[in-house]
Protein backbone atom coordinates (compact mmCIF):
# COMPACT_ATOMS: atom_id res chain seq x y z
CA UNK A 1 0.00 0.00 0.00
CA UNK A 2 1.36 3.39 -0.94
CA UNK A 3 0.38 6.31 1.28
CA UNK A 4 0.41 9.83 -0.10
CA UNK A 5 1.14 13.09 1.67
CA UNK A 6 4.03 15.55 1.91
CA UNK A 7 5.07 16.20 5.53
CA UNK A 8 6.75 19.61 5.89
CA UNK A 9 9.46 20.70 8.29
CA UNK A 10 9.64 24.12 9.98
CA UNK A 11 12.49 25.17 7.69
CA UNK A 12 10.41 24.43 4.58
CA UNK A 13 8.22 27.33 5.71
CA UNK A 14 11.04 29.55 7.05
CA UNK A 15 13.14 29.16 3.90
CA UNK A 16 10.06 29.61 1.71
CA UNK A 17 10.58 26.27 -0.03
CA UNK A 18 6.81 25.94 0.09
CA UNK A 19 4.39 28.74 -0.77
CA UNK A 20 1.76 29.89 1.68
CA UNK A 21 -0.49 32.82 2.48
CA UNK A 22 -1.43 34.24 5.91
CA UNK A 23 -4.83 35.57 6.93
CA UNK A 24 -5.48 37.64 10.05
CA UNK A 25 -9.04 38.26 11.02
CA UNK A 26 -10.52 40.13 13.92
CA UNK A 27 -13.95 38.98 14.91
CA UNK A 28 -15.70 40.74 17.75
CA UNK A 29 -18.67 39.28 19.54
CA UNK A 30 -21.38 40.66 21.82
CA UNK A 31 -23.12 37.71 23.45
CA UNK A 32 -26.48 38.07 25.17
CA UNK A 33 -26.04 36.34 28.50
CA UNK A 34 -29.58 35.14 28.55
CA UNK A 35 -32.09 35.33 31.35
CA UNK A 36 -30.50 32.87 33.75
CA UNK A 37 -26.91 34.06 33.55
CA UNK A 38 -27.90 37.74 33.63
CA UNK A 39 -29.52 37.17 37.04
CA UNK A 40 -26.55 35.03 38.10
CA UNK A 41 -24.10 37.79 37.20
CA UNK A 42 -26.18 40.40 39.05
CA UNK A 43 -25.89 38.08 42.01
CA UNK A 44 -22.12 37.86 41.65
CA UNK A 45 -21.96 41.67 41.58
CA UNK A 46 -23.65 41.59 44.99
CA UNK A 47 -21.32 38.93 46.28
CA UNK A 48 -23.87 36.13 46.03
CA UNK A 49 -23.96 32.82 44.15
CA UNK A 50 -27.41 31.76 42.92
CA UNK A 51 -28.57 28.38 41.65
CA UNK A 52 -31.96 27.52 40.14
CA UNK A 53 -34.21 24.61 41.06
CA UNK A 54 -36.11 22.21 38.82
CA UNK A 55 -39.59 21.39 40.19
CA UNK A 56 -39.65 18.04 38.43
CA UNK A 57 -36.36 16.35 39.36
CA UNK A 58 -35.71 18.63 42.35
CA UNK A 59 -32.12 19.36 41.28
CA UNK A 60 -30.70 22.72 42.30
CA UNK A 61 -28.70 23.56 39.19
CA UNK A 62 -25.51 25.54 38.99
CA UNK A 63 -24.73 27.24 36.61
CA UNK A 64 -28.40 28.30 36.78
CA UNK A 65 -30.52 27.62 33.72
CA UNK A 66 -34.08 28.45 32.69
CA UNK A 67 -34.86 24.85 31.81
CA UNK A 68 -33.58 21.59 33.23
CA UNK A 69 -31.85 19.84 30.34
CA UNK A 70 -32.42 16.37 31.81
CA UNK A 71 -36.18 16.71 32.45
CA UNK A 72 -36.65 19.22 29.64
CA UNK A 73 -38.86 21.18 32.03
CA UNK A 74 -38.68 24.89 33.00
CA UNK A 75 -36.86 25.61 36.26
CA UNK A 76 -38.79 27.72 38.74
CA UNK A 77 -36.95 29.20 41.75
CA UNK A 78 -33.73 31.03 42.48
CA UNK A 79 -31.80 29.48 45.37
CA UNK A 80 -29.11 31.36 47.28
CA UNK A 81 -26.06 29.11 47.67
CA UNK A 82 -22.99 29.38 49.88
CA UNK A 83 -19.65 30.58 48.57
CA UNK A 84 -17.83 27.54 49.89
CA UNK A 85 -17.50 24.16 48.25
CA UNK A 86 -15.44 21.06 47.70
CA UNK A 87 -12.90 20.23 45.02
CA UNK A 88 -14.33 17.57 42.68
CA UNK A 89 -11.18 17.54 40.57
CA UNK A 90 -8.22 19.85 39.88
CA UNK A 91 -5.17 20.19 37.70
CA UNK A 92 -1.86 22.04 37.79
CA UNK A 93 -1.35 23.88 34.51
CA UNK A 94 1.94 25.12 33.08
CA UNK A 95 0.31 26.32 29.86
CA UNK A 96 -1.38 29.55 28.81
CA UNK A 97 -4.40 29.69 26.49
CA UNK A 98 -2.19 29.71 23.40
CA UNK A 99 0.01 26.79 24.46
CA UNK A 100 2.89 29.08 25.56
CA UNK A 101 4.55 28.00 28.82
CA UNK A 102 4.00 29.54 32.25
CA UNK A 103 6.78 29.80 34.78
CA UNK A 104 4.47 29.44 37.77
CA UNK A 105 1.53 27.05 37.56
CA UNK A 106 -2.19 27.84 37.61
CA UNK A 107 -4.66 25.53 39.35
CA UNK A 108 -8.02 25.12 37.56
CA UNK A 109 -10.59 23.05 39.42
CA UNK A 110 -14.20 21.89 39.31
CA UNK A 111 -15.74 23.00 42.60
CA UNK A 112 -18.99 21.55 43.92
CA UNK A 113 -20.69 24.52 45.59
CA UNK A 114 -22.41 23.99 48.96
CA UNK A 115 -26.17 24.35 48.70
CA UNK A 116 -26.45 23.07 45.11
CA UNK A 117 -27.28 19.46 44.30
CA UNK A 118 -24.53 16.89 44.61
CA UNK A 119 -22.11 17.03 41.72
CA UNK A 120 -23.14 20.56 40.67
CA UNK A 121 -19.79 22.10 39.98
CA UNK A 122 -18.36 25.19 38.36
CA UNK A 123 -14.94 25.74 36.85
CA UNK A 124 -12.68 28.19 38.65
CA UNK A 125 -9.13 28.73 39.86
CA UNK A 126 -7.57 27.77 43.19
CA UNK A 127 -4.98 30.08 44.74
CA UNK A 128 -2.42 29.63 47.51
CA UNK A 129 -4.21 30.58 50.79
CA UNK A 130 -1.55 33.18 51.70
CA UNK A 131 0.71 33.91 48.75
CA UNK A 132 -1.98 33.58 46.05
CA UNK A 133 0.63 32.48 43.44
CA UNK A 134 1.81 28.87 43.57
CA UNK A 135 5.52 28.21 43.36
CA UNK A 136 5.44 24.74 41.80
CA UNK A 137 3.55 21.42 41.51
CA UNK A 138 4.85 20.03 44.81
CA UNK A 139 3.62 23.05 46.73
CA UNK A 140 0.15 22.68 45.22
CA UNK A 141 -0.07 19.02 46.18
CA UNK A 142 0.79 19.89 49.80
CA UNK A 143 -2.34 22.01 50.11
CA UNK A 144 -5.00 20.44 47.95
CA UNK A 145 -6.39 17.14 46.80
CA UNK A 146 -9.75 15.87 45.52
CA UNK A 147 -12.22 16.59 48.32
CA UNK A 148 -10.46 19.60 49.86
CA UNK A 149 -12.85 22.27 51.15
CA UNK A 150 -12.47 25.69 49.54
CA UNK A 151 -13.91 29.19 49.92
CA UNK A 152 -14.36 31.97 47.38
CA UNK A 153 -12.28 35.15 47.59
CA UNK A 154 -14.23 38.06 46.12
CA UNK A 155 -13.13 41.30 44.48
CA UNK A 156 -13.92 44.49 46.41
CA UNK A 157 -17.54 45.52 45.97
CA UNK A 158 -16.72 48.55 43.84
CA UNK A 159 -14.53 46.48 41.53
CA UNK A 160 -17.15 43.85 40.81
CA UNK A 161 -18.58 43.98 37.29
CA UNK A 162 -21.12 41.18 37.17
CA UNK A 163 -18.71 38.64 35.63
CA UNK A 164 -17.37 35.25 36.72
CA UNK A 165 -14.12 37.02 37.59
CA UNK A 166 -15.90 38.87 40.44
CA UNK A 167 -14.74 35.81 42.33
CA UNK A 168 -10.98 36.22 42.11
CA UNK A 169 -10.28 32.59 43.02
CA UNK A 170 -11.03 29.99 45.69
CA UNK A 171 -8.62 29.09 48.49
CA UNK A 172 -8.37 25.89 50.56
CA UNK A 173 -9.73 26.27 54.10
CA UNK A 174 -9.59 24.17 57.22
CA UNK A 175 -12.62 21.97 57.85
CA UNK A 176 -14.66 22.63 60.98
CA UNK A 177 -15.01 19.31 62.79
Partner 1 sequence: MIEKIDKFDKIKILKGEKVGWHRYTYGNGEEIFFKNLIDKKFFASKCKNCDKLFIPTRIYCEDCFEEINEFVEIKELPYIYSYTFLFKDLEDNDLKEPEIVVFLKWENVEGGLIHRLKETSIDEVEIGIKVEPVFKEKREGNINDILYFRIKK
Partner 2 sequence: MQKVAILGAGLTKFSRRAKETGKELAFYAAKMALEEAGLEIDDIDAVVCVSAPDAFDGVHMKGEYLSDGCGASKKPFMRSYVGGGSGVFGIINGWYHVASGTFNTCLVVAEEKMSSSMPHPQGIFNAIYDQFLERPLGVNLLWIFSLEMQRYMAVHKIPLELIALVAVKNKKNAIDHPCAQEGIPGNYTVEEILNSEIMCWPVTRLMVSPVTDGAAAVVLASYDFAKKFGKENIWIEGVGWCLDTSYWTNRDLYYPRYVEYAARMAYEMAGIKDPRKEIHVVEPYDPFAYKELHHLEGLLLADKGEAPRLLEKGFWDRDTLNGIPSSPSGGLLGVGNPIAAAGLMKVIEIYWQLKGKAGKRQVKREIRRGLAQAWGDLMQVGTVVILGK
Q: Does residue 79 contact residue 43 with C-beta atoms inside 8 Å?
A: no
When binding is defined by CB under 8 A, the residue of 47, 105, 115, 129 that contacts partner 2 is 105
Which residues have CB under 8 Å from 130's CB, separation 6+? Answer: none
Helix (H) or strand (E) holding 172: strand 167-172
Give the SS3 label for residue 151.
strand
Phi–psi pair at 89, nearest 5 degrees: -160, 155
Shortest spacing between CB 26 and partner 1, in angstroms: 7
Q: Does residue 87 contact residue 175 with C-beta atoms inside 8 Å?
A: no
- The contact pattern for partner 1, residues 136-165, with x = CB under 8 A and - = no contact, is --------------------------xx--
Binding positions for partner 2, 47-76, rule CB under 8 A: 61-63, 65, 69-70
Question: For 42, left (φ over 0), alpha (ψ -120 to 50), or beta?
Answer: alpha
**Please, which residue, 44 or 144, has the CB nearer to partner 1?**
44
What is the contact surface with partner 1 in residues (CB under 8 A)? 6, 8, 13, 18-33, 35, 37-39, 41-42, 55, 66, 74, 76, 98, 162-163
What is the contact surface with partner 2 in residues (CB under 8 A)? 1, 3-8, 12-13, 18, 22-23, 29, 31, 33, 37, 41, 61-63, 65, 69-70, 88-100, 105-106, 108-110, 119-125, 137, 145-146, 163-165
Amino acid sequence: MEFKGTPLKDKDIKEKKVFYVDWHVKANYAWDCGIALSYFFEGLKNGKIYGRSCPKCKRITLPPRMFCELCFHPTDKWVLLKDTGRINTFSVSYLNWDASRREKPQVPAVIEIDGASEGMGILHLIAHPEKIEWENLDEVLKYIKVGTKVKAVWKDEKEREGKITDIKYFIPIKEEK
